[in-house]
Structure 1
Amino acid sequence: MPQYGPASVAPQQGASFGWGPQFSPEPPKKRSKGPVFAILGLVVLAGAGLWAFGVIKKNADGNVTQPTVRPTVHRNTPTTGIPTEEPTEEPTTEPTTTQTTTYKPPKPRLTDNQIVQQNKLYRTGKQRSVNCKEPNIRPSNNRAAAAYWARVKPCLDRAWAPYVRAAGYQFRAPQMSYWSGSVVTTPCSSGAKSVPFYCSANEMMYMKVDVFAEVYNEYPDVLTKAYARMWYTRSIAHEYGHHLQYLTGILEASHNRRYEASTSAGVLLETRRMELQANCLAGVFLAANKRSYPINGNLLTAWNRWVVTAGDPPGRGTHGSTASQKRYMGKSFVTANLATCNTFSAPPRLVD
């Protein structure tokens, strides 16, 4: 896998975009109704040597059959007698009126294609600033790196809650856990990991603090330290993007589409759509808060020079080429508009 990062001041070990979604072992080709367990992460960045990333494959997930509902039909049975012109006696009681209820069939279940391509989240407009400010913390050790992310997360909660609700979904803030080392156990999986990731089984972002501190301490110059802060601000915003995909049904629907892909190229294409969208959602948040954070000076230089230019070889990776990163994350950093992030409706040549 290619490595990306600052050309002249790159850390010896670079930041990685992270793991793609991970699912349990695949059953026969019949999807069950189980929950989606996804570990989602970020792609490798580092020019003169940033980490390589791994992609973990998928498993089967459930297809829901729609119940067949038959409406009850009310028939009026005609009387056989012929009424007289005049009643022989005045009625002593008021006639009763029978009210009928109109049957409303349930709304049809959306298809996976409709969920990912026509999601109402895309129509919620331009995100407003929540006046998020960069934490005044130097992430030079594990504890400080955790504290840095802990200050950013409430901004993400405040920023995204109204847009998820406006799209018609229930908002739940994700949980966040900090870890270091090489092995971590979660409800989604157990094993070696090298970067932050998201697990949908418990709606948890697992933020790897030692990689943040390591990149920050790699070189003493201020530009490299700005790069570390900018990269890992985008990192938490990217993992939060996967949580948004989970809340809106995009994550599960994309997993189903990936499972149904008939070729490895189709699997990679679907994975790129999902990962590029998570990066695009990160760009929306950063764009909305770039003035208050602020993203200027060295942070903006790091963003333009290294963060938004990180990418895979076109058509061969899981997270998208440099051109695709600029097409979605780069554009959303300018527009702050969620309509920018509909990667699932784009032709394959624009998701390379």
Structure 2
Amino acid sequence: MVWIVPDELEEAVHAAARAALGDAPLATAALTRAIVDRSRRYTSERDRAAPDAAGDLAARAMFFTVADAMKIAIPLGELAHRGALPARRPLRILDLGAGCGAMSLGAIAALPAGVAVEILAIDRDRDALSIAHAAVRALAARRGVTATLTARDADIARAALPAADLAVLGGVLNELAGDARLGVIERALAAIGDDGAVIAIEPALRDTARALHEVRDAVLRSGRGHVFAPCTRGLAPCPALADPSDWCHEDRALQLPRRTAELARLTHLRDGGMKFAYLVLRRQPLALVDAAAAWRVVSAPMPAKGKLEVLGCSAAGRMPLRRLRRHRAPGNRDLDAAERGDVLVIDAAPGGDRVELTAETRIERLTPAAPRGAPRR
């Protein structure tokens, strides 16, 4: 299953960035250098300041905003599949730490046709918000969507949050101190209604993903929210936190538009995958799927001689789901197609440190965030 960044999203961002920054920072050589530098500062050199503010903004807009935009499509798809998108129209979206508008742009591209949106984008970077405003307006016009974006220059850790239907945070929690992360999430939960959702998306790095798992557990323990996705386990603690080397993240196949794909090739970044960790919280409980024995697949398939395994997570814990080759049967063949992010409904109970899938085991594979037009089962 491949997720596609629409060409018109890239075009809208590029036009907005060019209008804001001019041509010089967008020249290929300068832009690729800035993209590589920004990538390092997202990962191994997080405390180092940008050497060139205009070049850094160009990299964020022209590459990372486009490449990251469709991450929001997975949680939005899961909410829509479950009939859990808020009913109010226009849909009020808080984009917290909006930057150049990746999450807002992705929402416009991913929401069901005809859904009007009112976006309040909050960030301390006025220049990035200017690009977001222009890009959202252009993308909405190209897709025939009624969308407005109001930009607010403010610190999300302290800004007053108005009532909203969805609150989205794209790659911002990892920039906050530990106490502030939970505080922002709790304030976002207070801003949404009972049918609303808070969506947090973070880098797929071990430390940033584990910090998101910790926020998940803190919210569940406080009773102020309920986890909707990615977990089929609505309990704390997150099993991935038991081992310091474990963390959960997504790795979805991604098709980039032509110009962004060329930048990815030149910089050796974003190698065809959309990697991130995410969390969807609601004020009212709702399970991702209606099945008690539902396992989220949290690894790539692990074929080996004579067996096939995936790592699963459920209310029963985090453990391998294993089927020996001699036990392959019509009732369990959905395991053959299982991918990271799928949900497997299995009628077998754990035995020790794994679930053994026999010839009698029945498996149903669900893809709750399938792109439009793809089978969801």
TM-score bracket for the superposition, by shorter chain length:
under 0.3
Structure number with larger C-alpha Rg: 1
TM-score by length of 2: 0.23
TM-score by length of 1: 0.24
Structure with larger RCO (C-alpha < 8 A, sep 6+): 1
